[in-house]
């Protein structure tokens, strides 16, 4: 390939944008505003593989620190599907292609087929399959945001995957869908279908290059150590490590050794002096991790087995620098209740996510200077730093995470009674469900 032209109808320079291709093979570059968008032309000498050309265009148009770091990819005749690959490819300068995708065989473009705007408290709305073209457009997806299910006797697999990636269930009859009054059933089924579509039918899935994740747990409470590590043991994700940072001397070496013994994931243990301020201690814990992405884990909350997957997938389809979960499910111990309180809409760009669920890249965290050296409210301080730097924050579904209120010991100064208002549903005790990892014990 000697030339490549890319036209975008709408575009503005994103956070971290440098506008340079960083490839020696680029002989000429033309970058012109065109209405609300841009036209980019690249010329190459000598000829380059299509993946190298795409990598150069991506470097010009997007932030300099992408989600993943892919090897060079040779792309077959993918037609319009090349746009989906361009959203995540990061061709390595000067390297030969080491993976060939003939035909670009994926069904879901995560920049289009995604659940953005889909609230967690949707009233069930089942419709007969509308007449779509061969695939869902962005306009189609927007029109389906309040639709929970479609009924059709048959559907093309490609269209089914796209619908499911948006959170819409597909069934041959109404009997194949949850009952109208089964709020959890709808959420669980919808989320399971979209996870499958996004994890099997997107470019990232075909490349099988999911980012490594470090789950960072900073604690000074020995009585919560076993609970926290049990939660982490149940998490299913292909590339995960646990960083256990013990803050102070209240937790003995024997307690730590007992808690990490035979843990299914790699656990790295560090100790941090008690006089180190909370925010600084959190940064030290992150510095000890190796993952491309870092997620914060709180020692007293409940995390379902797909929790990390939800955050990584949300990062993929939202393009946000920070993703986290909605504060939907809350265990209020003083009232012995679990409540469903969907006051913060899920699947939207926002300025707040549950602090014990934040996920970000190591590079973006370093770019804003890391966790702030503050004693309290470190989650809020970090979000504010990201937002002030122009970053995007995205709040995904709250399913699979239970925030626990003990009545004391929280850095957030909000009373338990606050969480007992605006409840859409209540359960006595701790809610028991596989989705939260609480079905047993």
**336 part of a folded domain:** yes
**17 phi, psi to nearest 5 deg:** -75, 135
Quickly state the pLDDT bin for 80 (edges 50, 70, 90). very low
Confidence label for 14 from pLDDT (cuts 50, 70 and 90) = low
> pLDDT at position 16, please?
58
Name the one residue in this structure whose structure tokens are 């089924």.
Answer: 189
* 441 within domain boundaries: no
- The answer to whether residue 258 is domain-embedded is yes
Looking up tokens 């709020």 gives 183
- 311/125 Cα distance (integer angstroms): 26
Long-range pairs, 31-39, Cβ under 8 A, ≥24:
31/60, 34/7, 35/9, 36/9, 36/10, 36/11, 37/7, 37/8, 37/9, 37/10, 37/11, 38/7, 38/8, 38/11, 39/5, 39/6, 39/7, 39/8
> Are residues 295 and 411 both part of a single domain?
yes
**Domain-terminating residue out of 205, 225, 252:** 205
Q: Would you call the peptide bond into 179 cis, given omega within 30 degrees of 0 as the criterion? A: no
On whether both 425 and 369 belong to a single domain, the answer is yes
In a domain, 407, yes or no: yes
Domain match, 166 and 82 both: no
Q: Which of 68, 101, 134 is the last residue of a domain?
A: 101
For residues 300 and 174, state if they share a domain.
no
Average pLDDT over residues 378-382: 97
The residue out of 205, 230, 265 marking a domain boundary is 205
Whether residue 134 is found in the same domain as residue 281: no
Distance CA 295, CA 243 (A): 10
In order, the DSSP letters of 212-280 are: PEEEEEEE--GGGHHHHHHHHHT---SSEEEEEEEESSSS-HHHHHHHHTT-SSEEEEEEE-TTS-HHH
Of 54-58, 59-63, 127-131, which range is least confident? 59-63
Across-strand partners of 99? 73
pLDDT band at 150 (very low <50, low <70, confident <90, very high): very high
Distance CA 155, CA 286 (A): 46
- Residues 260-318: tens digit of each pLDDT: 998 999 999 999 999 999 999 999 999 999 999 999 999 999 999 999 999 999 999 99
Averaged pLDDT, 60-78? 44
Q: 118 lies in a domain?
A: no
Number of domains in the chain: 3
Q: 305, 191, 410, 307: which is closest to 296 by C-alpha? A: 307
Residue 120 located in a structural domain: no
Contacts of 280 (CB under 8 A, 6+ apart): 371, 373
Question: Mean per-residue pLDDT for 224-236?
Answer: 95
Burial of 206 (0-12, 13-18, 19+ CB in 10 A): middle
- Boundaries of domain holding 20: 3-101
Question: Do the beta carbons of residue 326 and residue 120 sit within 8 Å?
Answer: yes
The rounded Cα 389 to chain-centroid distance in angstroms is 20
DSSP 42-85: EEESS---HHHHHHHHHHHHSBSS-S--PPPEEE-S-GGGHHHH
Q: Do 326 and 235 have their domain in common? A: yes
Kindly state whether residues 200 and 260 are assigned to the same domain. Answer: no
Greater confidence, 214 or 73?
Answer: 214
Phi–psi pair at 205, nearest 5 degrees: -65, -45
Residue 84 has pLDDT above 70, yes or no: no
Q: How far apart are CA 242 and CA 240, in angstroms?
A: 7
Residue 14 to residue 28: CA distance in whole angstroms:
23
248 within domain boundaries = yes
Please say if the pLDDT value at position 369 is more than 70: yes
pLDDT in tens, 328-361: 999 999 999 999 999 999 999 999 999 999 999 9
Distance separating alpha carbons of residues 205 and 161, to the nearest angstrom:
13
Same domain, 171 and 218: no
The Cα angle at residue 9 between residues 8 and 13, in degrees rounded to 5: 60
Strands 149-151 and 126-128: parallel
- Domain assignment present for residue 117? The answer is no
How many CA atoms, within 13 angstroms, populate the side-chain half-sphere of residue 217? 30
Higher model confidence: residue 397 or residue 58?
Answer: 397
What CATH number did the domain enclosing 314 receive?
3.90.550.10
Report residue 105's pLDDT band, with 50, 70 and 90 as the boundaries.
low
Q: Do 69 and 218 belong to one domain?
A: no
Residue 411 has pLDDT above 80, yes or no: no
CA separation for the pair 328, 148 (Å, rounded)? 19
Regarding whether 88 and 162 lie in a shared domain, the answer is no
Report yes or no: 401 and 361 within 8 Å, Cβ to Cβ.
Answer: no
Q: Which residues contact 135 (CB under 8 A, 6 or more apart)?
A: 158, 159, 162
Same domain, 273 and 362: yes
Cβ contacts of residue 24 below 8 Å, gap of 6+? 93, 94
Residue 85 phi/psi, 5-degree rounding, is -65, -40
Choose among 405, 356, 408: nearest CA to 382. Answer: 356
Residues 322 and 378 in one domain: yes
């Amino acid at each position: 390939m000697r030339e490549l032209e890319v036209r975008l109808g709408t575009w503005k320079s994103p956070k971290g944008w440098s506008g340079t291709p960083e490839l020696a093979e680029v002989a000429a570059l033309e970058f012109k505003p065109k209405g609300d968008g841009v036209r980019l032309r690249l010329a190459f000498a000598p000829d380059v593989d299509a993946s190298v050309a795409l990598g150069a265009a991506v470097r010009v148009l997007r932030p300099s620190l992408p989600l993943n770091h892919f090897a060079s990819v040779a792309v077959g005749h993918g037609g319009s599907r090349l746009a989906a690959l361009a959203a995540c490819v990061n061709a390595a300068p000067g390297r030969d292609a080491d993976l060939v995708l003939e035909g670009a065989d994926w069904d879901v473009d995560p920049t289009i087929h995604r659940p953005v705007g889909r609230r967690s408290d949707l009233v069930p709305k089942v419709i007969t399959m509308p007449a779509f073209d061969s695939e869902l457009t962005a306009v189609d997806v927007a029109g389906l945001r309040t639709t929970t299910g479609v009924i059709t006797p048959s559907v093309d697999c490609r269209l089914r995957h796209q619908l499911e990636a948006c959170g819409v269930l597909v069934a041959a009859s109404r009997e194949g869908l949850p009952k109208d009054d089964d709020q959890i059933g709808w959420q669980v089924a919808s989320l399971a279908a979209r996870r499958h579509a996004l994890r099997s039918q997107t470019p990232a899935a075909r490349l099988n290059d999911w980012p490594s994740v470090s789950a960072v747990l900073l604690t000074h409470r020995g009585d919560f150590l076993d609970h926290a590590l049990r939660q982490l043991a149940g998490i299913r994700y292909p590339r995960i490590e646990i960083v256990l940072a013990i803050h102070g001397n209240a937790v003995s070496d024997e307690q730590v050794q007992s808690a990490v013994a035979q843990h299914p994931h790699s656990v790295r243990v560090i100790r941090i002096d008690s006089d180190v301020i909370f925010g600084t201690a959190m940064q030290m814990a992150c510095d000890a991790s190796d993952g491309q992405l870092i997620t914060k884990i709180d020692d007293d909350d409940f995390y379902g087995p797909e929790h990390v997957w939800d955050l990584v997938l949300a990062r993929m389809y939202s393009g946000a620098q920070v993703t986290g979960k909605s504060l939907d499910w809350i265990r209020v111990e003083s009232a012995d209740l679990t409540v469903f309180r969907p006051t913060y809409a899920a699947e939207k760009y926002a300025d707040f996510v549950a602090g014990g669920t934040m996920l970000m890249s190591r590079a973006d965290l370093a770019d804003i200077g890391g966790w702030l050296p503050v004693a309290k409210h470190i989650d809020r301080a970090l979000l504010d730093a990201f937002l002030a730097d122009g970053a995007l924050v995205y709040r995904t579904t709250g399913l699979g995470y239970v925030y626990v209120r003990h009545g004391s010991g929280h850095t957030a100064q909000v009373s338990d009674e606050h969480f007992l208002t605006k409840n859409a549903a209540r359960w006595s005790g701790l809610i028991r469900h596989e989705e939260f990892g609480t079905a047993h014990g």
